[in-house]
Amino acid sequence: MKPSAVTQETEQKLFFHNYARLPIAVSHGEGSWLFSIDGSRYLDMISGIGVNALGYGDKRLVQAIGDQASKLIHASNLFMMQPQFDLAEKLLSLSGLSKVFFANSGTEAVEASIKIARKWAARSGNLDKKEVLSLSNCFHGRTYGAMSLTAKAKYVDGFEPLLPGTGMIAFNDVTDLERKISDRTAAVFIEVVQGEGGIHMVSQEFISRLRELRDRYGFLIVADEIQAGCGRTGKFLSYMHVDADPDLVCLAKPLGGGLPLSAVLGSEKVADVLAYGNHGTTFGGNPVACAAGLAMIEAIEQDGLMEHAETIGNFLAEGLQRLAGKHPMILEIRQCGLMVGITVDREAKFYVEKALEKHVVVNATSVNVIRLLPPLNITREEAQLCIDALDEIFTEETREKEG
């Protein structure tokens, strides 16, 4: 069979039109760089949308994948497999939690957490204790339960009705939190650092009040660490910045080292909620993905990448703040580790296109936010290349406006 031409025209013929793909056909990656089939290279400042924590081609990761693939690629969860056990023990050690469930994607981890929360709440004997709440401006996924917690118009329109018993609390609004929480609440989902929402961090005041209300009403706190977890914020899990003490934690994106893998971590409070047959997955906890995940976490630890994420994140933020001082189209810089949001005064996709012309890949989110999620091992020199490219773009924009 003749290989398909990897072009935008062929893409339109082959696929549903649900991705606004960049006009680049990639061939391979090295470190923080992606290479196109025509030989051009691009500095990847979004790392596969937060997936490639080690960049591209890390030899330890490639070795772990190859070694496990040569032994066993799939056997199903009818069997016990060493890579699952090793990764589970590592995650529980780092988090201090008690149990693990492996799935394939972030949205699956969220769906599993919704089920665990409702089954846990059903034990209370309160038949009304089914409400699952999230915070405004959040993103938890695209399947029905996860989408119902996200509830942004662009993700929801045309797919209603949403999952009953879901609702929103205004982000960082303690008064609204107190108004919405009751003895009907089964769980509250939080992103300590909202990624898709534009890099906004939940306040300690909000988290402290949430914990007090949990003590009063008896519900679960679920931390969505799908984008912010695995070292990206300078700590292994972003909730460690604010002492959130979650009952459930959702992990995905970088967890499988680039392979599909997610996890739900649970405290002792929920350790025995699921019984045989209550929930499952054919592919979740794939041994190759688990071996890759363990290699990824060990590399983060060996290379000091959590500390590096904090250092380079601060370097990026300081450089971007200097740009904000001379470019009025930059409205705000928000940063936690290597999660960086640059709020601008127009749709951010304009800057995505301009950056691509300079062979730098950035991302637009929340309409007017340029989002940076580089590999955790990005160098200071590479970070400076990104700052310089954006400086050039803002300077050129000012010149065009002036005439």
CATH number of the domain enclosing 180: 3.40.640.10
Q: Express each pLDDT in 104-142 by its tens digit.
A: 999 999 999 999 999 999 999 999 999 999 999 999 999
Query: Is pLDDT of 356 > 90?
Result: yes
Q: In terms of DSSP H, where are the helices of 81-199?
A: 82-95, 106-122, 144-150, 153-156, 174-180
Q: Is 186 helix (H, G, I), strand (E, B) or coil?
A: strand
Report, in this order, helix, strand and coil percent for the chain, each rounded to 5: 40, 20, 40
Give the confidence band of 397 by pLDDT, cuts at 50, 70, 90. Answer: very high
Q: Are 229 and 208 in contact (CB under 8 A)?
A: no
Q: What pLDDT, on the 0 to 100 scale, is given for residue 151?
A: 74
Give the confidence band of 301 by pLDDT, cuts at 50, 70, 90. Answer: very high
Q: Is 192 helix (H, G, I), strand (E, B) or coil?
A: coil
Q: Can you give the CATH number for the domain in which 362 is found?
A: 3.90.1150.10
C-alpha distances (whole Å) from 296 to each of 72, 123, 214, 376, 403 are 19, 38, 34, 11, 50
Q: Express each pLDDT in 144-155 by its tens digit.
A: 999 999 978 888
Same domain for 70 and 39?
A: no
If residue 299 lies in a helix (H) or strand (E), which one and from where to where? helix 287-302
Same domain for 233 and 261?
A: yes
Domain end call among 281, 302, 323: 302
Torsion angle defined by CA atoms of residues 254, 366, 222 and 102, in that order, rounded to the nearest 10 degrees: -30
Same domain for 296 and 195?
A: yes
Query: Is pLDDT of 2 > 80?
Result: no
Q: Express each pLDDT in 254-286 by its tens digit.
A: 999 999 999 999 999 999 999 999 999 999 999
Domain membership of residue 73 as a residue range? 59-302
| φ and ψ of 367, to 5 deg | 70, -60
pTM over 0.75: yes
Q: Are 187 and 223 in contact (CB under 8 A)?
A: no
Same domain for 65 and 47?
A: no
Query: Is pLDDT of 403 > 80?
Result: no
| φ and ψ of 278, to 5 deg | -65, -35
Q: Express each pLDDT in 41-87 by its tens digit.
A: 999 999 999 999 999 999 999 999 999 999 999 999 999 999 999 99
Q: What pLDDT, on the 0 to 100 scale, is given for residue 288?
A: 98
Q: Is 281 helix (H, G, I), strand (E, B) or coil?
A: coil
Q: What pLDDT, on the 0 to 100 scale, is given for residue 401?
A: 83
Average pLDDT of the residues of the chain: 96
CA–CA gap between residue 369 and residue 349 (Å, rounded): 9
Share of the chain above pLDDT 90, in %: 94
| Residue 3 included in any domain | no
| Residue 193 included in any domain | yes
Q: What pLDDT, on the 0 to 100 scale, is given for residue 402?
A: 82
Neighbours of 37 (CB within 10 A): 11
Q: What pLDDT, on the 0 to 100 scale, is given for residue 3?
A: 77
| Residue 1 included in any domain | no
